[in-house]
Structure 1
């Protein structure tokens, strides 16, 4: 468990997701309907929380997957779904990085993302890859603020994008890449 100070001065605890976090992550998914509607055209379903545990791109092992929750007090205010050393040994892929609407634009996401990017660089990663719906400007702006370069739309359903398989309902999905400096 690690505490990170957000720009608004409040602490955010980042830790591995546990089974008892499912209800809090479910509430986070419901609160982040704007993201899910932009990504898939529909709100998240309760089963989407459980599918996080099993969603893994072809060629990756479960030991590479990390599900992290961002907590303030007893509330889950964010989630990061990461796969280390994917799609190449020097890469880290981000499937989902969500921050609850009430915690957005307060430095919570940026503080955690910068810390995770630094940790990835410390583990020898050279590239971080993320995905974002091309119509979801809050996510694209967030990625740009961290230095990611946003790619062209990925239009092929069933293709692996970032650390997950693109679903048929996802349109205009963008791949964002951040090249990390050599240490």
Structure 2
């Protein structure tokens, strides 16, 4: 499990680390700032319970010990969050439930740097699966830029990342990245 590590982003101090109890308020602020993503993904803005549910939300068949939550901190400010499950839906796969960056941190290469560092540290991973709200171009472009192959929109009510879809959610676009080791 990753405790904390510095990320090499020119001119910025970026730390990726596991969350601590004191992160609840900064994560609430991050979720509020990312209303565009929540509305695109769920049809509603985030609610206070969304932060708390991060710690126990798992897709069916996943083990709690395989859950990974990472906070991205830029200049001492919580700027992003990664929610993933190792070895799901099969050994060697990683399912990303959420890869969220504050709007003011997007489009600057930070997401790409975090994703690249996580992939470089991933041992035994053969594929990464993610989802994106259909038509949410920032997420689609991000995944495509990392080399993910996007599928067509899935049926409404399908599993969404690490949770079940809510009543206002449309389907999702699944994406997959095959990780080559060689």
TM range (shorter): over 0.9
- How far apart are residue 47 of structure 1 and its match? 0.8
Q: Deviations over 1:8-30 (max 9, x none)?
A: 53121000111210111110000
Quote the residue 2:63 is aligned against: 61
CA distance in 1, matches of 2:131, 2:96: 7
Unaligned stretches of 5+ residues in structure 2:
none
- 1:75 corresponds in structure 2 to 77
Q: Secondary structure at the match of 1:30?
A: helix
Distance 1:161 1:87 in 2: 13
Confirm or deny: 8 A CA contact 1:149 1:178 kept in the other structure: yes
Shift of 1:166: 2.5
Contact map agreement 2:12 2:75 (CA 8 A) in 1: no
Provide the residue aligned with 1:117 in structure 2: 119
Cα distance in 2 for partners of 1:128, 1:166 equals 20
Tell whether the 8 Å contact from 2:72 to 2:78 is kept in structure 1 after alignment: yes
User: Which ranges of 4 or more aligned residues in structure 1 deviate by more than 3 Å?
Assistant: none
Q: Equivalent residue for 1:147?
A: 147
SS of equivalent residue, structure 1 residue 63:
helix
Measured on the aligned residues, the alpha-carbon RMSD in Å equals 1.3
CA shift for structure 1 position 135: 1.8
Count of paired positions:
179
SS at match of 2:55: helix
- Alignment match, 1:27: 29
Report the CA distance between 1:165 and its aligned residue.
2.4
What is the TM-score of this pair, normalised by structure 2?
A: 0.93
SS of structure 1 residue aligned to 2:96:
strand
| TM-score normalised by the chain length of structure 1 | 0.93
Contact 1:78/1:98 (8 A) holds in 2: yes
Q: How much does 1:84 deviate?
A: 0.5
Aligned to 2:131: 131
- 1:87 alignment partner in structure 2: 89
- Structure 1: which 5+ residue stretches go unaligned? none
Q: Could you say which residue in structure 2 is the equivalent of 1:182?
A: 181
Give CA-to-partner distance per residue, 1:29-48, whole Å, 9 cap, x none.
Answer: 00001100111111100110
